[in-house]
Amino acid sequence: MARKLKGIAAAPGIAIAPVVHFHTTLDRIPTWRVEDDRIDAEKARLAGAIAAVSESLMGLQQELSGALGKHDVRIYDAQLAILHDKTFLRDVQNEVEQHRVNLEVALQRVISRYEGVFAAMENPAMRERAADLRDIGRQLVGALVYDDRVKYTSDGADYLFAADEFLPSDAGLLDREHIRGIVTAHGGKYSHGAILARSLGIPAIVGIEELMQTTTSGSLAILDGDAGVVLLEPSLDELADYERRLREQRSVDERITELRFEPSVTPDGTSIRLMANVEGVHDLENLELGAMAGIGLFRTEFAFMERRQFPTEEEQVAMYRRAVEGADGKPVTFRTLDVGGDKPLGYFQMPEERNPVLGWRGLRLCLDWPDILYTQLRAILRASDRGHARILLPMVTTRSEVVRCRDVLDQLTADLRSTGVPYDARIELGVMVEVPVLVEVLPDVLPVVDFVSVGTNDLVQYLLAVDRDNQRVAKMYDPFHPGVLRILSRIAKASAAAGKSASICGEIAGDHWFTPLLVGIGFRELSMAPVFVPRVKVMLRSFSLDECQHLAERALAMQSTAAVRKLVHEEIQPRWAQQLAGSGEAGGA
């Protein structure tokens, strides 16, 4: 039986290869006193290092542009911004002048202070900015001390990259022909290293604190990027099982290529709308819209987070029009601004909160600052004349919140009509079901909305009282919990009774093991990261509607998560394997 190390799943996939330790920090920082007549020389060294690292980052950005999406390549823009930040540069220069230390030591001290500030933040996304600072510091010191950084290789053999952390600049040093996985002691799912691993298609696990102490360089290991688990010294049976799963992955890729543009229907012809979750207009550039029914979740907050001030109405209209036009007549569901919690705005002062995820965020913030909501809704309305737009309200808890938004929307449409400004009269208003209490009052809310979208990421977290980013309790976060399935069933039934469509836009929508259960429960629209659409489409072709409903009935009657997972293992996984082998029934057109 293998030893098991549990971390945070950062990039999906399975890898089997020897672990190879890499030390990504500089081993030696030179130290000396800087005399008065040498201060200007140190400043000149800083300018030279900045120029060298800038050139390196831009070269890396260009090198990876073919492997990464345009959005992910912009990670290096964030690093370049830090590199040229005037406050950062002034602090480094002051450290040299005031304490007479050489530039390498000054950089180390300033980076350490900045890291301390970010590490103390409750916001996970902001905490991850500390890794970017470390990376910039390491690159600058490296440019001062060494001519070239050594590439991470394993002498031409396959390997698992194991290190304290994986930083953006490391992406250019990987032997991408032979690397099979990435596992680190530090980092989080929001880190730029994790994002790059996902974009490069490299399975990755982060946050295994004991990694470097409990693994030996050269020892065989299995990395399960789906479960967030590393198996050390696996048994022959475990190796055989994971080698089978690797073969299955390859079969998935082949089958997906065959079916990705086929209709998303069950073998008996039940149509399921598969939609895409996107983070902005840039995600639409590489989207295969022909493989999906539209955009089920457009996260507008990322456009706000990328700016230094609130975007104007005209700027928002331009962005939303690009999205609507890019969807070519298919619906685009714009979620209104959902900042706060783990998504702060640098230019908008948020209050200090003990638990910001349960605090002033989403619709709560927008209703308190109606100008934000008014401007955004008006911009979406003006953009809607180019296609089909839907508006989705996040963090809703009461009917009165929705009524207030409906009133604003009615006022805006009346104003646009009176001034002759075109908009889509079919525009729909919906609510995200992510706060558990909304399930109880959903029958009261449904008459004043056009559709419902279930944000299962937060809903499951709140239902189970589990922070899925907390490694001590993350294993308790399991959407297969029978109680979660029963809540989803209530939402689907209430929506159907009111004649309103209901979709799932959380992560389980893209989990193909969940697909038959969600269809059986009653959902006919699933919205997910685009990469998962083909996989779910393949699963849809494995079960008829009657079979999905029968599976859902059995799962809803079960009394434990383990029992539900056993059902998935015994009933769903074998059918999936048949479909991959090409023996499953193909769905109708």
pLDDT grade, residue 589 (50/70/90)?
A: very low
The answer to whether 132 and 78 have CB atoms below 8 angstroms apart is yes
Among 43-47, 308-312, 426-430, the range scoring the smallest mean pLDDT is 308-312
3-state secondary structure at position 413 = helix
Query: Residues 561-571: pLDDT tens digits?
Result: 999 999 998 99
Per-residue pLDDT at 260 = 77
Q: Is the pLDDT confidence value at 587 over 60?
A: no
Distance CA 373, CA 364 (A): 11
Can you point out the beta strands (E) in 323-421?
A: 332-335, 389-393
- Domains plus CATH for the chain? 3-22+152-235 (3.50.30.10), 36-145 (1.10.274.10), 266-580 (3.20.20.60)
234, exposed or middle or buried, with CB in 10 Å at 0-12, 13-18, 19+?
Answer: buried
Which tokens is 21 given? 């330790």
Q: Is the pLDDT confidence value at 231 over 90?
A: yes
State the DSSP H helix or E strand holding residue 81, giving kind and residue range, or none if neither: helix 75-83
Asked whether the whole model's pTM tops 0.75, one would answer: no
3-state secondary structure at position 470 = coil
192 given a catalytic annotation: yes
The answer to whether 464 and 492 have CB atoms below 8 angstroms apart is no
**Mean pLDDT across the stretch 260-275?**
92
Query: Residues 479-535: pLDDT tens digits?
Result: 999 999 999 999 999 999 999 999 999 889 988 899 999 999 999 999 988 878 888
Which tokens is 142 given? 């490296």
Per-residue pLDDT at 450 = 97
Buried b (16+ CB within 10 A) or exposed e, 487-498: bbbebbebbeee
Buried b (16+ CB within 10 A) or exposed e, 268-297: eebebbbbbbbbbbbbbeebebebbbbbbb
3-state secondary structure at position 586 = coil
Which tokens is 484 given? 């979660």
550 given a catalytic annotation: no
Q: Find the catalytic residue in 186, 282, 366, 505.
A: 505
The answer to whether 2 and 238 have CB atoms below 8 angstroms apart is yes
Distance CA 507, CA 514 (A): 10
Q: Find the catalytic residue in 192, 282, 388, 512.
A: 192
Which tokens is 399 given? 């009917």
The answer to whether 461 and 468 have CB atoms below 8 angstroms apart is yes
